[in-house]
Amino acid sequence: MPVPVVRRHHLVVCTLAALPFLAGCAADAPFTAPEPAVRASVQSFTLAGTDFLVAGAPVGSFGAFVVNNSGRATTEFWDNLSADRPAAGTASQNCNVGHWASGTFSTTCENDAPGSDVNIPAAGTWTRYWGDGPQSRDPSAFMFTGAHQYKVRLLASYAGNSSVVGYYTRIGGSYQFTPVAPWGLKTIGTEVTIPAGADWGLFIGNRFNPDLAGCGTGPNGERYYCSDANGGFTPTTPPVPLQQHALFTNGAGSAFLVGMEDNSVETLPEGTFYDSDYQDYIFRIEPVVAPGGGPVGGCSPGFWRNQRGDAWPGGYSPNTLFTAVFGEGANPEAFAGRTLHEVLTQGGGGLTALGRHTVSALLNAATPNGVMNYELTPQQVIDKFKAVYPGGDYGALADEFEALQDENGRVCTVPRVNVNGGGGRRR
């Protein structure tokens, strides 16, 4: 029985570990922070392929594929003739997702959303597909692990009808669906960043697919089909959720291509084939992986406010003056005479809110990559603050820093060493 649809909310995950930190420094000394050598903005993949996947049962595997139109009963489940091809015998038949992944897709294929054909990849970009059974012929279930962030971009769409398209998270048996309207509207190039925190997958929903199973139901009666489906591609009695998603990966296993099928049993004009070409919506999925392979994270001002001083990273101390880090000489000086901890604890909006998030971003950036991976260096945080103070857009920079915190679905992986056992967060 499908679980009722629930709108996804931000997830907060805090992982505890016992790791040493550098001691603090004097408050009145000029401050020079050590600069980490590498930050998460430079990707270095030490994980690949199945390290990013949550497999179903039976467990799939990545294997090489041969591009053709032989039909799913013979080889790969997606290598069927497509209803999006021009009239039989007049042009290329190469309109299924395998041809798209291999770079041999025909630009004469119909129902292409504007911008789709220009994204057809070069040959050799995508080299393996996910399947199980004899010759990996059957479509396998999959999700992506919540240990990382992911950038998900709509590359192409060759759908004759419209569907609801988005992503879901699954915690236990509960699905939480987030439709992405521009994806359903076939707006090519639309990219969504899915935060770390919970395992997730893609879904497609409509009311014209005759399959009676699925993973949920939309507000307008759409039946949703999720990428964790264990069924094949033919409706059964009793109905089993069909796998409407085809998964490919590149040679390094560092990025993925997913093709969606919107209809399980669409009969072709000649009445002899089913249209299961898996290219109605095509996505590129790229994990955001920091050096060392750990999750990209960030802790909130409330976390750092309650963190004991000797556990602050990078040689910073709660008693360090704000101006000693962010420079003196501005007129007026920002937070003159106040320590980093005092700036963290003050309430209010505007510049005071920016101060809290700036100190938090500084400490996140100074945390070693082995503990938490963060996109910015301390110097970048300092430069960003100086670029807006005085008189700049304080709210925009505060929002930018806040978006890199665990309150927005990221992971705070710093061990908690509270000053007084308290907790709490303040924006």
Say whether both 229 and 325 belong to one domain: no
Range of the domain at 206: 49-288
pLDDT at 421 over 60: no
Nearest CA-CA partner of 72 in 224, 271, 265, 257? 265
Instruction: Quote the distance between the C-alpha of residue 139 and its chain's center.
Output: 23
Last residue of a domain, one of 230, 257, 288: 288
pLDDT at 244 over 70: yes
Say whether both 279 and 224 belong to one domain: yes
Say whether both 219 and 276 belong to one domain: yes
Mean predicted confidence (pLDDT) in 352-381: 87
CA–CA separation, 332 vs 341, rounded Å? 20
Q: Widest CA span of the chain, in angstroms?
A: 83
Q: If DSSP codes are grouped into helix, strand and coil, which group holds residue 318?
A: coil
Last residue of a domain, one of 238, 256, 288: 288
Entry pTM = 0.63
pLDDT (tens digit per residue) in 144-202: 987 777 899 999 999 988 999 999 998 777 899 999 999 999 999 999 988 776 789 99
Last residue of a domain, one of 268, 288, 308: 288
Residue 292 near residue 370, CB atoms below 8 Å: yes
Domain count of the fold of the chain: 2
